[in-house]
Amino acid sequence: MEVLKVSHSSAPNKVAGAIAGVLSKTDEVELQAIGAGAVNQAVKAIAIAKRFVEAKGKEIYVIPGFVEVEVGSEKRTGIKFKVVAKSTGEAVEEKEAEVNNVNKEQ
């Protein structure tokens, strides 16, 4: 999976273009951000990329988590965002299956 590193000075539109570019070739990409400013830019980029990806008939899903990143000789904890793209039809089928499973459990 391709990893994009986002900093506080990253331009959200450019990061969004990179996300959309990777998702046009594969179904997932990971963003890594260290610090509040970088996380802010990453979230904005994901929101912008959502529009680009939806225009191509796909939906995106984001799975956040923690990541240990080595900066120089120091280990830092950052936030990672796994961004997954699914075709709109595939996403609808999964949501319907999820609703059906919940209804069966009740």
pLDDT value of position 9? 98
pLDDT of residue 103: 64
Confidence of residue 90 (pLDDT cuts 50, 70, 90): low
Place domain 2-105 in its CATH homologous superfamily.
Alba-like domain (3.30.110.20)
- Are the C-beta atoms of 81 and 3 separated by less than 8 Å? no
Determine the pLDDT at residue 96: 66
pLDDT on residue 88: 79
- What's the whole-model pTM score? 0.81
- Say what angle helices 12-25 and 36-54 make with each other, to 10 degrees: 50
Q: Which pLDDT band holds residue 13 (cuts at 50, 70, 90)?
A: very high
Give the model's pLDDT for residue 18. Answer: 97
Model confidence over 31-70: pLDDT tens digits? 999 999 999 999 999 999 999 999 989 999 999 999 999 8
- Residues 22, 3, 26: CA angle, nearest 5 degrees: 30
